[in-house]
Amino acid sequence: MNIRKGVVKNSVKCTYYENLALVFKKSRYWHYHAFAFYCYYERYMTNPKITAEQKQSSADKLLLSIMCIPPVTLESRQNRGSQERIAGMLTSSNKIPTKEDLCAMMVSKGIVENASDSIRELWNFLFLQFDLSSLSRGLELLEKIQENEFKELLQNNLIYKQLISLAEVYSKIKLESLLALIPLSRQKILSILLKSHEERIIDFSLD
């Protein structure tokens, strides 16, 4: 049996990471998906034939994938062995960057600047401008996003950020007061609130 040796073509690497990202996305492993797409993006950007529009579209999808990583992920529930095996599929360091590390990488590598205005505006809002009274602004920015597959995840993460901000200010809050602060359906808010409690994302009680 002949074993082919040599450097793996960049196009093969692109396809490999793109397929991995798709698998993780379908399985709702959003942290793995974001890093796999970053690995794909890094290799895709070396293609001299891609257009400015393609570069921007890829940057948009990468930033969205990172913004969609929830406070508590399925990855965090895996045992260490499983995490290390998957990390080995993605990087030689066997260590996947945290969400915070990925965010820093997007800034240091200039990827945020390569994104479209609407995505860059949402990114800056989420990581630089968000405060207790700005949820409505975030929901308005979501309306500008064309990628519908990410909208629900982003909306959920906005609610999580709002709840975390509230927990930093209040130790107890009336349910009706909480619902008034989040301009979305009661059922959706209660669902995320229950999940936040189960995952110990927030630590305040309802009156």
By the 10 Å C-beta count (0-12 exposed, 13-18 middle, 19+ buried), 142 is classed as middle
Give pLDDT tens digits for 133-191: 777 888 889 888 877 788 889 988 888 888 887 777 777 777 787 777 777 778 888 88
- In angstroms, the CA 48 to CA 50 distance is 6
In this predicted structure, which of 4-13, 72-81, 153-162 has the lowest mean pLDDT? 4-13
DSSP 3-state assignment of 25? helix
Dist CA 59 CA 56 (whole Å): 5
Query: Residue 27: pLDDT above 90?
Result: yes
> What is the average per-residue pLDDT within 42-59?
95
DSSP 143-198: TT---HHHHHHHHHHHHHHHHHHHHHH-SEE-HHHHHHHS-S-HHHHHHHHHHHHH
Q: Return the SS3 of 79.
A: coil
Closest CA to 106 of 148, 62, 136: 62
Q: Report which listed range, 4-8, 30-34, 196-200, is most confident.
A: 30-34
